[in-house]
Amino acid sequence: MAQPNSQSQSTAAGGDFQFDLVVIGSGPGGYTGAIRAAQLGLKTAVIEKDKSLGGTCLNVGCIPSKALLDSSEHFLQALHELSEHGVKLAKVELDLPTMLGRKDKIVKSLTDGIAYLFKKNQITSFQGTGSLVSATEVEVKSATGETKRLKAKNIMLATGSVPIELPFAKFDGKKIISSTEALTLPQVPKHLIVIGGGVIGLELGSVWMRLGAKVTVIEATAKLCGSMDGQMTKQLQKVLTKQGMEFMLETKVQGLEVLKDQVKVKIESAKTPSELMGDICLVAVGRKAFSDGVGLEKVGVTKDERGRVKVNAHLQTNIANIYAIGDLISGPMLAHKAEEEGVAVAETITGHAGHVNYDTVPGVVYTWPELASVGKTEEELKASGIAYKVGSFPFSANGRAKALGSTEGSVKVLADAKSDRILGVHILGPRASDMIAEAVVAMEFGGSSEDLARSFHAHPTLSEVMREAALAVDKRARQM
């Protein structure tokens, strides 16, 4: 974390540790909520245990992983794809230190940006571990053991999450690693074994595969990407397999053994035990709420069986002036979900109508092509007995996708059979992460597939695939 700004220094010097809102955690939800609270006139403080602001997302999550994904994609294009565009390179070499350095520069610029925003909005920041002392008091303990006690009319818990560690595969940071270490490997592994076929495993697996590693993904279930649309995840698996990624679905990991230069992974598939050898194993089986050591038990804040803090529709815990957001509570562990919850808390405290529409939280897998989704999947609609219509359209029939040289994937629009209201949109294709925003806005306003179908989409653009998929709901796609 940057040194306290002038507001922080003068506050500390005067012994004035009384705030309208104290936020524990400076991740996307914490810092965004704090900024909104300050905008609304609340005297606000943020406590962060790490040296830099931004939480997991900015420091060891969303941002550095996307930086490496983009860099590795450029490397892959230089190796195999630029020649098709008439760009000939005599020799392509990987400079991994420079690639990692670029990632670090991006992270620093953004974390420094948060420090600037705190100063601009007169938010006081404290570096140290924050824990509840009472319903209106928070203790901050620095790395040197120094403590401060803050008084707070309201408290927002935004402590985020940590990687789940398997009992038989404890992280050692070298051979058995989490997503954090996967962002800083000093050299490209020969064989990276990934346990977990979710977002984190596929993204980081893609990075190192593009840079030259053999990547094997082990997934216990029959499909990738958890609860995302089954048809689209099957398409994604086919594309990644074509790129060279290997998959072992419905395969359970029974144990890991670290040898001198390798990792032995004991697996069981179809009741047939076997072993898999690699030089590094990335355990990416999910994340869990970071709720230990926050003082929840001391003040009586209730948690569920998974260690997540229980909240009501207003994000209040069982103690009315203590709120919780983000990965600490139930729901998708996504930065943008946490941001909206942080803003909602600030607005609720100040008498505004803080609200989060959980039906329109988009999810993205930043492989290439990308997989983006919002709303219901076909599996969920079938399970709920909801009658629906489907419209889909492939990128292979889109002019801009052909020009880009990225034609794999499609857009699928799910609409209510009677009202035509959009129930879900799923995109596998180039820049799906950007395209999904159109679907989110349409759903936020209760839009129909007809609304999308009758809206202008510039030509030639990737977004035309969205329009054609919407047209296909009523079987009137025009480009194929």
Give 67-79 pLDDT, tens digit per residue: 999 999 999 999 9
- CB-based contacts of 129, cutoff 8 Å, min separation 6: 47, 49, 140, 141, 293
pLDDT at site 4: 36
pLDDT tens digits, one per residue of 391-426:
999 999 999 999 999 999 999 999 999 999 999 999
Confidence check: pLDDT of 58 > 70: yes
Confidence check: pLDDT of 9 > 90: no
Instruction: Please provide the distance, in angstroms rounded to a whole number, between the alpha carbons at the two ends of the chain.
Output: 54
Of all residues in the chain, the percent with pLDDT exceeding 70 is 97
pTM score of the predicted model: 0.94
pLDDT tens digits, one per residue of 341-365:
999 999 999 999 999 999 999 999 9
**Contact present, 257 and 264 (Cβ < 8 Å):** yes
| Angle, CA 328 vertex, CA 22 and CA 202 arms, to 5° | 130
Residue 15: which pLDDT band, with cuts at 50, 70 and 90?
very low
pLDDT at site 29: 98
* 402 three-state secondary structure: helix
| Angle, CA 105 vertex, CA 102 and CA 109 arms, to 5° | 145
> Taking Cα atoms as reference points, which of 23, 19, 18, 20 lies closest to residue 341?
23
Strands, E assignment, 158-245: 161-163, 176-177, 191-195, 214-218
421 bridge partner residues: 448
pLDDT tens digits, one per residue of 210-258:
999 999 999 999 999 999 999 999 999 999 999 999 999 999 999 999 9
Of all residues in the chain, the percent with pLDDT exceeding 90 is 95
- Could you check whether the bond before residue 460 is cis, i.e. omega within 30 degrees of 0? yes
| Angle, CA 303 vertex, CA 298 and CA 305 arms, to 5° | 130
* Core vs surface per residue 67-77: b (16+ CB within 10 A) or e: bbbbbbbebbb
> Taking Cα atoms as reference points, which of 130, 183, 120, 182 lies closest to residue 156?
130
Instruction: Please give the helix or strand (H or E) that residue 258 lies within, else none.
Output: strand 251-258
Query: Around Cβ 241, how many Cβ atoms within 10 Å?
Result: 11
Confidence check: pLDDT of 2 > 70: no
pLDDT at site 10: 32
Q: Mean pLDDT in the chain?
A: 95
Q: How far is 360 from 285, CA to CA, in rounded Å?
A: 25
- CB-based contacts of 122, cutoff 8 Å, min separation 6: 7, 38
* 113 three-state secondary structure: helix
Q: How far is 142 from 330, CA to CA, in rounded Å?
A: 29
pLDDT tens digits, one per residue of 418-434:
999 999 999 999 999 99
Could you give phi then psi for residue 294, rounded to 5 degrees?
-95, -5
- Outline where 40-95 has alpha helix (H): 55-60, 62-76
Helices 432-444 and 464-472: angle between axes, nearest 10 degrees: 50
* 331 three-state secondary structure: coil
Q: How far is 235 from 423, CA to CA, in rounded Å?
A: 21
> Taking Cα atoms as reference points, which of 234, 261, 260 lies closest to residue 247?
234
pLDDT tens digits, one per residue of 88-100:
999 999 999 999 9
> Taking Cα atoms as reference points, which of 371, 357, 411 lies closest to residue 227?
371
pLDDT at site 3: 36
Confidence check: pLDDT of 450 > 80: yes
Could you give phi then psi for residue 232, rounded to 5 degrees?
-70, -35
Q: Which of 74, 80, 355, 459 is catalytic?
A: 459
pLDDT tens digits, one per residue of 117-138:
999 999 999 999 999 999 999 9
- Could you check whether the bond before residue 369 is cis, i.e. omega within 30 degrees of 0? yes
pLDDT at site 272: 77
**Contact present, 173 and 181 (Cβ < 8 Å):** yes
Strands, E assignment, 99-243: 124-127, 129-134, 137-141, 147-157, 161-163, 176-177, 191-195, 214-218
- CB-based contacts of 238, cutoff 8 Å, min separation 6: none
pLDDT at site 270: 77
Confidence check: pLDDT of 8 > 90: no
Q: How far is 315 from 349, CA to CA, in rounded Å?
A: 11
365 bridge partner residues: 371
Instruction: Please give the helix or strand (H or E) that residue 429 lies within, else none.
Output: strand 422-429
Residue 271: which pLDDT band, with cuts at 50, 70 and 90?
confident
- CB-based contacts of 361, cutoff 8 Å, min separation 6: 331, 332, 334, 336, 337, 374
Ordered by where they begin, the domains of the chain are: 6-58+101-163+288-356 (3.50.50.60), 176-285 (3.50.50.60), 363-472 (3.30.390.30)
355 is catalytic: no
Q: How far is 341 from 337, CA to CA, in rounded Å?
A: 6
Q: How far is 328 from 287, CA to CA, in rounded Å?
A: 10
